[in-house]
Structure 1
Amino acid sequence: MTDNSTRATRFAAAYALMRMAADVGDHWIQSDHQAVTKGQHDENEGQSSRAGRIACTAHVATYTATQAAVLYAGSRVLGLRLKPARVAAALALSASTHWWADRRIHLKAVADATGKGNFYNLGGPLGGAYALDQAFHHAVETVAAAIAASK
């Protein structure tokens, strides 16, 4: 196997592992409280911005732990030989951008600035907002997987 095909294999496996772990972390591991509270801001009818930050931080901690465990196990089982420093960098990127997006206000601002504000609001929180959130996470996870798979 050539170095390029080995790198492509590591990338594909790292992406598949990170994507699966992200779905589990976002939809099964995240608590109901975290899901409902993580986007709260003071301007949301008196809801606490502090409570939102705490819930989002707790969610991202379990989300990142899920990705780390899956990447570690997958790397061992598949013999990917991912470098710990590269995995740590990939997880840091995934975690920090996940927190940024899941606070909701930032992603909404980007949607508004790029002419996607109407789509963001379409269908309530599980409509356009959710679709744009997931598209953002998928894009970042692609970059993170490339970082994790690099030598």
Structure 2
Amino acid sequence: MSDVRVRQAVPEDHDRIHPVLDDWWGRPIAAVLQPLFLDHFFGTSFVADDDQGLAGFLVGFLSPSRPEVAYVHFIGVRPDLRRTGLAADLYDRFFDLARRNGRTEVWAITSPLNDRSIAFHQALGFEVTHQPDGPIRFRRPL
């Protein structure tokens, strides 16, 4: 992973991220990441690149309604780079950003069908907080 470069996102990154989503997930998911997320939350989001192009990303924001919460809306890693530590690195950067901004917990969600995501979040210290008939919700204290 030493050749992966991580930087703060810019709004134009949506045009790079959006086309790979369905392929990376293996199902239609692109509608979940609308341009507004990087138009308004690029300052709290990260993009990773390597020599092959887009390596991964994390789109997150500081909740304007819950001053203790930072929220990860979407995280993705190119399939050939999964299990390399890139996703954990992106989360660590987001955790640091959240702490610097006075947040004390991070929330995220995933599909109940996404066993890899559930296991990954639990390995990072997230606890499942809610799951009846909808997405799995996670909470992690900082």
The verdict on a shared fold, with TM-score over 0.5 as the criterion, is no
Higher relative contact order (CA 8 A, sep 6+): 1
Whose helix fraction is larger, Structure 1's or Structure 2's?
A: 1
TM-score (norm 2): 0.30
The structure with the larger Rg is 1
TM-score (norm 1): 0.28
